[in-house]
Amino acid sequence: MVIAPDFALLLQPLLDMDSPVFPPAAVRQVCEHVLWGVVLAAAGWRMASVLQPPWRLALAALMGVGSSLAGPLSPAYWLELAFASPSWTSVLLCGLWLWGQTRSQARSSDIRTSRPTNSIPLPWVLCGIAMGWVLALDTFGALPVRHSLYALGFSPLASLILMVAAAATWVLSARWVHALPLVALALFVLTRLPSGNVWDAVLDPLLWMYLHIHLASQGWRSLRAR
């Protein structure tokens, strides 16, 4: 007599959301300052585009280091209240962009030769915008689903599905820059930062708003070019 396997029982550990793993509070507090520091350093470099390279670097360093201050003195404190922690995707994008900008400045002293690069692939932009809208509608209970999609982000199954999709995208594209989502997910699996939910590791409110602006600006440039 052959006993059919109970697939629901086999999938139960992957769907378990009763005891989500959160990073320790002390670790979260330290890491939120570090993560916001990278984002703020990139923002400082971009805002100081009219200054000479040494002053741009000084402002970026000041904003990055300033996020390590304790309590309300730190800009990370207020940003955390308004937008929660930045996602690993935002931190990696800002870090790579800042690294590329500083390298270009090291090769040339002419500030006009260093312009922000629009290196985010269009499929990433569209997927990020769509994911943000789905999660926003899920937050307000506007989706015809039985369980919360955001709560599913605490389950191992969601992380597994996203990692498989990110790995497949990287392999098919054969470009190292397309491995960034996979790196972000790997960092989430290792650290459970920023919130223990995989959706917060790949997307955050600031990044979602930026993707809308990025898509609109790219569309406008394409129309002007025609």
Q: What are phi and psi of 110, to 5 degrees?
A: -80, 115
The alpha-helical segments, DSSP class H, found in the chain are 7-15, 25-47, 53-66, 75-83, 88-107, 122-139, 149-152, 156-173, 180-191, 198-202, 205-225
> Which residue, among 39, 215, 14, has the nearest Cα to 129 in the 3D structure?
215
User: Are residues 224 and 123 located together in one domain of the fold?
Assistant: yes
Q: What is the pTM of this model?
A: 0.80
To 10 degrees, the CA torsion angle through 149, 151, 153, 157? -90
Query: What tens-digit pLDDT sequence spans the chain (226 residues)?
Result: 444 445 454 455 555 555 566 777 777 778 888 899 999 999 989 888 787 878 888 888 898 888 888 778 888 888 888 888 899 999 999 999 888 887 766 565 443 444 444 467 788 899 999 999 999 999 888 888 777 889 889 888 889 999 998 898 888 877 777 788 899 999 999 888 888 899 999 999 999 999 999 999 988 888 888 7
195: containing domain: 118-226
User: Are residues 135 and 195 located together in one domain of the fold?
Assistant: yes
Instruction: Please report how the helices 75-83 and 25-47 are oriented relative to each other, as an axis angle in degrees rounded to 10.
Output: 100
Q: Please give the Cα distance from 42 to 57 (Å, whole number).
A: 10
28-37 burial code (b ≥16 CB/10 A, e <16):
beebbbebbb
User: Are residues 123 and 110 located together in one domain of the fold?
Assistant: no
User: Are residues 73 and 31 located together in one domain of the fold?
Assistant: yes
User: Are residues 53 and 144 located together in one domain of the fold?
Assistant: no
Q: Please give the Cα distance from 210 to 207 (Å, whole number).
A: 5
Domain limit, last residue, from 116, 146, 162: 116
Within 8 A by CB and 6+ apart from 86, the residues are 35, 36, 38, 39, 194, 204, 206, 207
Q: Please give the Cα distance from 39 to 175 (Å, whole number).
A: 24
Q: Please give the Cα distance from 64 to 33 (Å, whole number).
A: 9
Domain limit, last residue, from 57, 90, 116: 116
Total tally of structural domains belonging to the chain: 2
- Domain assignment present for 137: yes
Domain limit, last residue, from 51, 82, 116: 116
User: Are residues 125 and 35 located together in one domain of the fold?
Assistant: no
